[in-house]
Amino acid sequence: MLIVLGGLPGVGKTTLARRLCQALRAVYLRIDTVEQALRNEGVKVWAEGYVVAYAVAADNLRLGRVVVADCVNPLAETREAWAGVAAAAGARAVMFELVCGDAAEHRRRVESRVADIPGHVVPSWSDVTTGDYAVWETPCEVVETAGRNEEEILGDVLARLA
């Protein structure tokens, strides 16, 4: 199974992805990590991080592993590509869009983030509110993270996966 966690920066994707990977003993693919590794090698990154992650996800899906992809997943093209990766590997894809419906809480989360990947620059609130992020038109599970703790969110997602 391929579990894709998408949503704007600061909604809780990475926290949930890590917890899901521990609970499911899944492979963890974080686009920020892949993209920063490419930048560290002098690559100007646009779609390259996603393309690398699709290939690594496909390898692991073919091995029968559960894969959790942690990414903004901002465009219809990226969402369709993840679904195509799962289909080509004969795996089920489950897409989650995480949202933080409380703008003040979301802004606080974004502004208090500290980079946990060497060299990574976390986006500002302005970056989050003005970046390219298309409305999801493909089927996905929406998970509200505002006002909820990690355990509640993890339990909610695991229940939806069951």
Whether residue 112 has pLDDT greater than 90: yes
Q: Express each pLDDT in 1-49 by its tens digit.
A: 999 999 999 999 999 999 999 999 999 999 999 999 999 999 999 999 9
**Residue 8 near residue 19 (C-beta atoms within 8 A):** no
CA 91 to centroid of chain Cα atoms: 18
End-to-end CA distance of the chain: 12
Average pLDDT of the residues of the chain: 97
pTM, rounded to two decimals: 0.97
Confidence of residue 99 (pLDDT cuts 50, 70, 90): very high
Q: Express each pLDDT in 41-75 by its tens digit.
A: 999 999 999 999 999 999 999 999 999 999 999 99
> Which domains are delineated in the chain?
2-155 (3.40.50.300)
For residue 67, the cross-strand partners are 2, 27
The CA-CA-CA angle for residues 80, 84, 88, to 5°, reads 175
Task: Name 153's Cβ contacts closer than 8 Å, sequence gap at least 6.
Answer: 12, 16, 143, 145
Confidence of residue 138 (pLDDT cuts 50, 70, 90): confident
